[in-house]
Amino acid sequence: MTMTMTTRRTMLAALGALAVMPTQAQEAAWPKQKPVTLVVPYGPSGAPDGMTRLAAEAFKKKFGQSFVVENRPGAGANIGVAHVAKAKPDGYTLVSAPVGAFAINQFLYDKLPYAPDDLVPITPIFEIPNVFAVPATVPANTVTEYVEYLRKRGKSITFGSPGVGNSAHLWGELFRSRINMEGVHSPFTSGQQVVVSMLQGDVDFVIDVLASYRPFLQAGKLKALAVTGSTRSPLFPQVPTMEESGFPGFDLTTWVAFAAPRGTPADVLAAVSGAQRELAADPAMQKQFTAAGVRIAASTPAELQARIALERPRWQQLVKMSGAKVN
């Protein structure tokens, strides 16, 4: 009887251990079970799409699994971000989320299809300064000279952006308020439309993401007076920052980060973060990102969360000051 009970207990313990093993094996196998979907909440062009695809190729080589980029554009990135926020938190659906998803849209939109806390930030992918650009024919080469030019011209100003509530809108409104001049925000659907309007004389200036305006700057159609952020852009090292130009408070940059649904296993977050940090340390990858007009970035999930906590109230204040609202 004693041997039978012992044998039974041994068998039950063995069965219990076997029952646990598949789950542990599945968790340890990420991402071996199936391809990982990287959702880009923008169309198949531009920096978020291009940089995510570069990362996807590198991750495929590192993990031995496909990372499939899926574009889900619309509603200021809210459609794609909401899709991932509601996805199964198993590590197989991630998103390249803009700073707006974490620190701007909650103050801009009356109703979001997700809550910012539905996402877990993993690591930045890249960041990019905004460039203060004017038509090349404008007789000013610095921000200070440009302000003097606007005052002598003696009429209200018009600044453009590719939509309501984006960083170009917020920076334009901050600049207008700093120089204490009447102004009008003209929203468009793309940076190229802003450029066309500036060259036609309908829009005075723009403070938008550098990558969108680099071709026009290099072609000599536009002139860069300054960039946002705390450092100069390696693409235009001769262009000072806004702070160097005498306008502090423009030190925030636009950035995009990998994020996952709340509840995604910590080891998955750590693996993605570690892979991105390896990319950021690779000189060849740095050059590819720089060539696209952005700076490759990476951090731990905790570091990114701390950054969001610091930046969120500043973006909130900018949205409030601009009066921007989307129903």
Q: β-strands 157-161, 183-187: how paired?
A: parallel
CA distance 324 to 327: 10
Same fold, 35-128+254-322 and 130-227: yes
3-state secondary structure (DSSP) of residue 188:
coil
Give the architecture (CATH level 2) of 35-128+254-322. 3-Layer(aba) Sandwich (3.40)
CA distance 76 to 54: 23
What pLDDT, on a 0 to 100 scale, did the predictor assign at position 1?
44
Does the pLDDT at position 39 exceed 60?
yes
**By the 8 A CB rule, do 241 and 109 touch?**
no
What pLDDT, on a 0 to 100 scale, did the predictor assign at position 75?
87
β-bridge partners, 14: none
CATH class of 130-227: alpha beta
Average confidence (pLDDT) over 156-168: 92
Domain spans of the chain, in order of start: 35-128+254-322, 130-227
* Residue 24 or 285, more confident: 285
Does the pLDDT at position 25 exceed 50?
no
What pLDDT, on a 0 to 100 scale, did the predictor assign at position 62?
97
What pLDDT, on a 0 to 100 scale, did the predictor assign at position 24?
47
Average confidence (pLDDT) over 77-88: 96
Alpha helices in the chain (DSSP H): 2-28, 47-63, 78-85, 99-103, 105-108, 143-153, 167-178, 191-199, 210-218, 266-280, 283-291, 301-322
CA distance 201 to 179: 21
Does the pLDDT at position 232 exceed 60?
yes
**By the 8 A CB rule, do 120 and 266 touch?**
no
What pLDDT, on a 0 to 100 scale, did the predictor assign at position 190?
83
CB atoms within 10 A of CB 22: 9
CB atoms within 10 A of CB 44: 12
What pLDDT, on a 0 to 100 scale, did the predictor assign at position 320?
93
Average confidence (pLDDT) over 168-184: 94
What pLDDT, on a 0 to 100 scale, did the predictor assign at position 4?
52
What pLDDT, on a 0 to 100 scale, did the predictor assign at position 241?
97
Structure tokens at 209: 């993401």
Average confidence (pLDDT) over 220-232: 96
What pLDDT, on a 0 to 100 scale, did the predictor assign at position 28?
52
Average confidence (pLDDT) over 256-278: 98
3-state secondary structure (DSSP) of residue 143:
helix
Q: How confident is the model at residue 20 (pLDDT cuts 50, 70, 90)?
A: very low
What pLDDT, on a 0 to 100 scale, did the predictor assign at position 101?
94
Average confidence (pLDDT) over 123-130: 96
Q: How confident is the model at residue 192 (pLDDT cuts 50, 70, 90)?
A: confident
What pLDDT, on a 0 to 100 scale, did the predictor assign at position 293?
85
Residues constituting the chain? 327
